Structure 1
Amino acid sequence: MKPDDRRQEIMDILMEAGSASVEDLSLRFSVSKMTIHRDLDDLEQAGLLRKVHGGASIQSSAQFESDFRYREKMAAEEKRQLASHAATLVEPGQIIIIDDGSTAGGLADHLATIRPLTVITNNLSVIVKLTAIPGIEVISLGGQYSRKFNGFFGIVTEETLSSLRADIAFLSSSAIQGAAAYHQDQEVVKTKRQMMRSASRSYLLVDHAKFGKPALHFLTGLDGFSAVITSDRIDAGHEAALSDAGISIIKV
């Protein structure tokens, strides 16, 4: 196995288990403990994990937290509640957009009773779930597949979106600062912006922990959304800041 492939598999193991020992990794990949130590050193320098005595554990960071496998596990019940409420905004016959986010992606579990629908999405999990449901037409956005985000992005994705029109776009974002949404990846930002341009109205679904978090790239002001859908666990200070800025909030 090539070193890069082995290191990716080490991250896959940590993504599932949270930690792993050097001995276990050495046996799993049939390489020396020294080789595993070098792998862990390189991954730690990249900010992807933290070496501990005898092994490694996941390192909380923007790079790690953006992985869809991590996002699906975090605040899972809260995200399901937000997606369930968002589904009440959808009417049969509409055309909707669902982005790559794990929160917005949860809508796929609530659409079978709102048929017929047309769903435009770059989210591979949503595509897989909805293609098996009669009465839901899925328009899959092409582009370059990102294993990290489990979705499609890039020029092809954006050009396809620019030729489509939808009634509603449901988006997620990784960070909210003040009255603006941010994301750590610029390609994702460009796709989300085009989704908003392609829809008559847009909603942002974010769990309460996203407020006050940092991320590198400005996505959009929250006034670009018809409403921000979050949980009633939102901090009172963050809620007040949104209200003062005239942002519509739906608390679930």
Structure 2
Amino acid sequence: MKPDDRRQLMMEMLMETGSAAIEELSVRFGVSKMTIHRDLDELEQAGLLRKIHGGASIQSSPQFESDFRYRERIAADEKRRLARHAARLIEPGQIIIIDDGSTAGALAGYIRDLRPLTVITNNLGVIIQLAPVAGINVISLGGLYSSKFNGFFGVNTQEALRSLRADLAFLSSSAVNGNAAFHQDQEVVQTKRQMMKSAEKSYLLVDHGKFGKSALHFLTRLDGFQAVLTGDELDAPYAAALREGGITLETIGGDAAGDIA
């Protein structure tokens, strides 16, 4: 097997399992542990995984964000609930922004009938889903494409955002700690901040597993959002602390009705 093919299969395996041991990979692919180490070094250098003691992981850490394909599988039902609820905040005729996150990106499946609508996004998945829909104008933000985030970032993306204005922005974040949101990637942070500046109101969509975690870069205080939307699986202490801090928190249950405070 060619090294590139083996590394691709390793990534597909990690998409399913989240992590794997050196010994496990060596047996699975029939190569030496030294070869596995070299493969993992290459994949880590490309930003696709992180090496850990005795193996590799694609799971998020304070300095590493997972590949979008892995993130889409985590808390998938909860993310759909949040997206369905967020879609109810949108009125036909509005201009909205959707970021690269898997949670905010799930909105695309619930707004196809909210026409006419203009959608500004750097999320390639959203662009592909909505571009063919009559009555929805998609403004695709240019920039450098990131296969890891399946979106566009950089100077061109931010310049395009500065020239645009929207009614609502829907953002995701990889970590919420205290009354602030964080992310591992500096360019992602800069793009999300500009999206908030370009919108009259912003909403944060984040699954309950992101609370109590932190990441390398501060994104923004939570009071910068009109509301924070999460699943009703959120631990009560986190919810109470946010509400006591004056944050508008909506916990969305299976009926997607939401509990607002």
Tell me the TM-score normalized by structure 2: 0.85
**Residue 236 of structure 1 corresponds to which residue in structure 2?**
236
One-letter code aligned to 2:66? S
| Residue aligning to 2:141 | 141
TM-score, normalisation: structure 1: 0.88
Q: Where does 1:109-188 land on structure 2 (aligned, <5 Å)?
A: 109-188=109-188
Is structure 2 residue 35 aligned with structure 1 residue 36?
A: yes
Shift of 1:109: 0.1
Q: Provide the secondary structure at the position in 1 that maps to 2:72.
A: helix
The 3 A distance-change label for structure 1 pair 192 and 84 is: same
Query: Does the CA contact (< 8 Å) of 1:177 and 1:212 recur in 2?
Result: yes
- Paired with 2:180 and 2:117, the residues of 1 have a C-alpha distance of 30
Partners in 2 of 1:163 and 1:8 — Cα distance? 41
Q: Report if the CA contact (8 A) 2:65-2:184 is conserved.
A: no
- The equivalent residue for 1:96 is 96
2:13 is matched with 14
CA RMSD in angstroms comes to 2.4
Opposite residue 248 of structure 1, the aligned amino acid is T
Deviation per residue, 1:54-82 (Å, 9 max, x gap): xx563534266421011100000000000
Cα distance change on mapping 1:240 and 1:17 into 2, 3 Å: closer
- For 1:8 and 1:148, the matched residues in 2 are separated by 15
Match of 1:25 among 23, 29, 40: 29
Structure 2 equivalent of residue 48 of structure 1: 50
Aligned length: 243
Q: Give 2:184's aligned amino acid.
A: Q
Q: CA offset at residue 2 of structure 1?
A: 8.7
- Distance, in Å, in 2 between the alignment partners of 1:117 and 1:183 is 29
Unaligned runs of 5+ in 2: 253-261
- Give per-residue Cα distances to partners, 1:111-169, cap 9 Å, x unaligned: 11111100000001000000121111000000001111110000000000000000000
Pairwise mapping of residues 214-233 of structure 1 onto structure 2 (< 5 A)? Answer: 214-233=214-233
Larger fraction in helix: 1
Distance 1:11 1:217, change over 3 A: farther
Match of 2:259 in 1: none
Runs of at least 4 residues off by over 4 Å: 5-8, 43-47, 49-52
Unmatched 5+ residue regions in structure 1? Answer: 27-31
